């Protein structure tokens, strides 16, 4: 890998990876599967060619759930702490990195939101809500 790689890890630190730019895409996904898998309003998915990605620790620990009805959808996660980890997309040569598990700034920023029509009925743009810098 040429440029300084970005790094990511799970909550317990057992699984670590690194990836290098340029990325193949970065977007929010509001589909119902991403809502379930993230437990949140949407996923933040960063895509990187598999050749620019490598596991640094814990690859053998990964628990893999490939959705039986999903062409692309999968959830790979750390069985120790439950953190969602990157997964190889079956239909492309890309890895999908859940951006929330990154430990470094990918510099790239999301460029669009997909499955907007499927967004959670309770979703509010964060800009519409009061903001606090600490727990409240
Ligand atoms: Zn973990
Ligand atoms: Zn999705």
CATH number at residue 80: 2.170.150.70
Domain count, the chain: 1
- CA–CA gap between residue 75 and residue 86 (Å, rounded): 8
Q: What is the mean pLDDT of the chain?
A: 95
User: Has residue 115 been placed in a domain?
Assistant: yes
pLDDT of residue 3: 67
- Domain hosting 44: range is 6-128
Q: How far is the CA of 2 from the centre of ligand 2 (A)?
A: 30
Q: How far is the CA of 129 from the centre of ligand 1 (A)?
A: 32
| Inter-residue contact 32 to 41 (CB < 8 Å) | no
The CA distances from residue 130 to 16, 28, 50, 71, 127, in Å, are 34, 22, 39, 39, 8
User: Has residue 133 been placed in a domain?
Assistant: no
pLDDT of residue 70: 78
User: Has residue 87 been placed in a domain?
Assistant: yes
Q: Which ligand is nearest to the Cα of residue 61, counting in written order?
A: 1
- CA–CA gap between residue 135 and residue 23 (Å, rounded): 33
Residue 99 has pLDDT above 60, yes or no: yes
Residue 1 has pLDDT above 50, yes or no: no
Q: How far is the CA of 123 from the centre of ligand 2 (A)?
A: 15
Closest-CA residue to 96 (of 84, 88, 106, 105): 88
| Inter-residue contact 19 to 6 (CB < 8 Å) | yes
- Report cis status (omega within 30 of 0) of the bond before 22: yes
User: Has residue 29 been placed in a domain?
Assistant: yes
The structure's pTM equals: 0.94
User: Has residue 1 been placed in a domain?
Assistant: no
Q: What is the mean pLDDT of residues 117-134?
A: 95
């Amino acid at each position: 890998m040429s440029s300084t790689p970005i790094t990511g890890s799970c909550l317990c630190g057992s699984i670590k990876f690194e990836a290098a730019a340029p990325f193949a895409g970065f977007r929010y996904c509001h589909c119902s599967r991403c809502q379930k898998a993230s437990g949140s309003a949407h996923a933040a998915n960063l895509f990187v060619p598999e050749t620019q990605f490598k596991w640094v620790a814990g690859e053998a620990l990964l628990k893999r759930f490939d959705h039986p009805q999903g062409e692309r959808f999968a959830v790979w996660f750390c069985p120790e702490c439950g953190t969602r980890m990157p997964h190889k997309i079956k239909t492309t040569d890309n890895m999908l990195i859940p951006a929330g598990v990154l430990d470094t700034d990918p510099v790239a920023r999301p460029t669009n939101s997909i499955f907007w029509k499927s967004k959670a009925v309770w979703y509010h743009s964060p800009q519409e809500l009061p903001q606090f810098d600490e727990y409240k």
